[in-house]
């Protein structure tokens, strides 16, 4: 873009900076955002794993809205959950688990109705299960009929 100077009648060019990277200057790393929710979760130790119980929809297929107490009660009695974290000794014992681990982080697992230790966090609860309390893995938690 050219600009005319009203006083001298000359044209001045605006300075544009190159978009190329500067040699010898290190680019700054993008900052990782730490959310409060991830820092609130307990880290499992040893052979324990952190599981988030499956939470039913707050609305039934027929359109009936369920109360918060009903949804919370169902989550406590849930038999299915997503593995959030595993302790450092989970499934390490080759004598007990010769075929390797039964599950990994991100898997949906089935466990006994009241298995593990329930820990209340903001927004619900999580469970700390022992590695041997996992009964099965499932692809989709909605395939399991959830009743309390």
pLDDT tens by residue, 38-72? 567 889 999 999 998 887 777 777 778 777 776 66
Signed CA dihedral, 105, 111, 115, 120: sign only: positive
Q: Residue 35, SS3? A: coil
CA 32 – CA 85 distance, rounded (Å): 19
pLDDT, tens digit, 9 for 90 and up, residues 94-113: 999 999 999 999 999 999 88
| pLDDT for residue 141 is more than 70 | yes
Q: How confident is the prediction for the chain on average, in pLDDT? A: 77
Enter the tokens of residue 38: 């991830």
Please state the separation of Cα 125 from the chain's center in Å. Answer: 14
Instruction: Give the closest residue to 84 by CA, choosing from 59, 51, 48, 127.
Output: 51
| DSSP symbol at 122 | T
Q: Is the pTM of this model over 0.85?
A: no
Helices assigned H by DSSP within 1-148: 36-40, 68-76
pLDDT, tens digit, 9 for 90 and up, residues 2-36: 445 455 555 566 666 556 665 555 665 555 554 55
């Amino acid at each position: 873009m050219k600009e005319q100077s009203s006083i001298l009648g000359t044209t001045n060019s605006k300075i544009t900076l190159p978009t190329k990277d500067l040699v010898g200057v290190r680019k700054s790393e993008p900052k990782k955002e730490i959310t409060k929710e991830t820092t609130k979760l307990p880290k499992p130790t040893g052979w324990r794993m952190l599981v988030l119980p499956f939470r039913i929809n707050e609305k039934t297929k027929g359109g009936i809205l369920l109360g918060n107490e009903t949804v919370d009660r169902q989550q406590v009695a849930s038999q299915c959950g997503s593995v959030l974290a595993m302790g450092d000794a989970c499934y390490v014992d080759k004598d007990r688990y010769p075929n390797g681990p039964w599950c990994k982080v991100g898997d949906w697992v089935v466990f006994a109705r009241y298995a593990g230790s329930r820990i209340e966090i903001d927004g619900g609860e999580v469970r700390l299960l022992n590695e041997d309390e996992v009964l099965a893995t499932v692809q989709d938690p909605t395939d399991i009929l959830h009743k309390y």
